[in-house]
Structure 1
Amino acid sequence: MGEFLGELMALFADGFVRRLRLARTRRRLAAGRPARIPCSARVDRPGEEAGYVGGRLLITPGSATVTFASSALRLELAAGGEFHEPEPEVWHDQDWAATAYRPPGPGPLVYLQTDTAHLPLLHAALAAPAAAEPV
């Protein structure tokens, strides 16, 4: 019974913490301050390993770029690109959603995965330079 209660507590605490982080991110962006969104990225470049790398998207309101940063990969994504169909279902789970983004100009397609609650913020940040307006 104790294990069951422990699992339930972890489940409810996780949802609560996620809602708090989302609210904090929205408040920071609405105030014109930079914010970080947990995210995983994969780049379609010839000769590179096709695996996701966990990191964070660094969004600065009014900036023309959004930065993905991790210990293994750093990408500067120009705002104003195109979103494409997400990857096949095998890349999704109930909490994470994927989207494909092609930055303007020549450049590789970048696959991004983030918590489903953060996906509208990610789309808004990459849609236009005045990107990080509250959703």
Structure 2
Amino acid sequence: MGEFVGELMALFADGFVRRLHVARTRRRLAAGRTVRVPCSARSDRPGWQPAYVNGRLRITPGAATVTFDTRPGRIELPAGGTFHDPEPDVWHDQDWAATAYRPPGDGAPVFLQVDSRYLPMVHAALADPNSQQPQQKV
């Protein structure tokens, strides 16, 4: 019984903390500051590991690239690409939303998984980086 209660507490606490982090991330983006979004990614592109790797997407409003930071290193994703359906059966984490991002030019897509509350921010940063520009007060 105690183990079950412990699992429920972790579940609710994670949801609360994640909700606070999402709100903070939105505020920082609106203010024009760099944010880091927890993410898992994989690709068949050169320089990428063939399996999902946990890391963070570093999003800078208006930047031409988004950086995927992992322990082994950094990989730059050029903005302005398109999003497609995710891989059907090889998701890294069923609790996270999955999407396939194809950077401009040709090549293999990059498969990203983020918490679904971050997904609109990731789509805006990669597909239309100019939409992330800070709003000027009039």
Change (3 A) 1:41 1:8: same
CA offsets per residue over residues 26-79 of structure 1, 9 Å max, x none? 110011100000001111136965201110000000111111010124221111
Aligned residues: 134
Q: Shift in Å at residue 130 of structure 1?
A: 1.3
Unaligned runs of 5+ in 2: none
Q: Aligned runs of 1:1-135 on 2, under 5 Å?
A: 1-45=1-45, 49-91=49-91, 93-132=93-132
**1:92 Cα offset (Å):** 6.3
Instruction: Tell me, yes or no, if the aligned pair for 1:55 and 1:68 is still in contact at 8 Å.
Output: yes
TM-score, L = length of structure 1: 0.87
Q: Equivalent pairs: percent with the same residue?
A: 71
Greater than 4 Å deviation, 4+ residue runs:
46-49
* TM-score normalized with structure 2 length: 0.85
Give 5+ residue unaligned stretches, structure 1. none
CA gap of 1:108–1:60, structure 2 versus 1, over 3 A, is same
